[in-house]
Amino acid sequence: MRGNPVNFICGAAVTTRIQDFWLIGLCAISLCALACISILYFKHRRMGVRLEELVSSRAAEIKTYADEIAYVSKLTWAINDAAVLLLESEKTDYTGAMRQGMAMIGQCMDGDRVIVWQNEAGKDGGSGSGAFAPGMRKR
């Protein structure tokens, strides 16, 4: 053994102190890394829940729009069929075709009545007459 044994013991103590500082620093860095990972995990988890809520709300909106588009398409086809009935009817008697077309449109819209009014100017300043679809009840 070389040197003074007291220096060797003091040197070992200094080395132990240096190792203690390294261990304390390593633990502190590990705790900071663990805290950062935890924060990122919970932030990511909250973001995932928020994204799921957003996707479900958008899916509900899309379903609503699809239902509206289907309803409008169904109504458009009913109106188109009613127009075809009117165009194919004779020029002198179109009331039967008009009533049948009104019934088709009323059934498409789930209505309980369909009324078409024709205003006619009379001596008293005006009066009206209406046409009702078959199967629909009058007021």
SS3 call for 86: helix
Helix/strand/coil percentages in the chain, nearest 5:
70, 10, 20
Residue 56 CB neighbour total at 10 angstroms:
10
pTM, two decimal places: 0.50
* Residue-wise pLDDT tens digits, 86-127: 888 776 677 788 888 888 888 888 888 787 776 666 666 555
* Residue-wise pLDDT tens digits, 32-55: 999 999 888 888 888 888 888 999
134: left (phi over 0), alpha (psi -120 to 50) or beta: beta
CA–CA gap between residue 13 and residue 19 (Å, rounded): 10
Cβ neighbours of residue 126 closer than 8 Å, sequence gap 6 or more: 119, 120
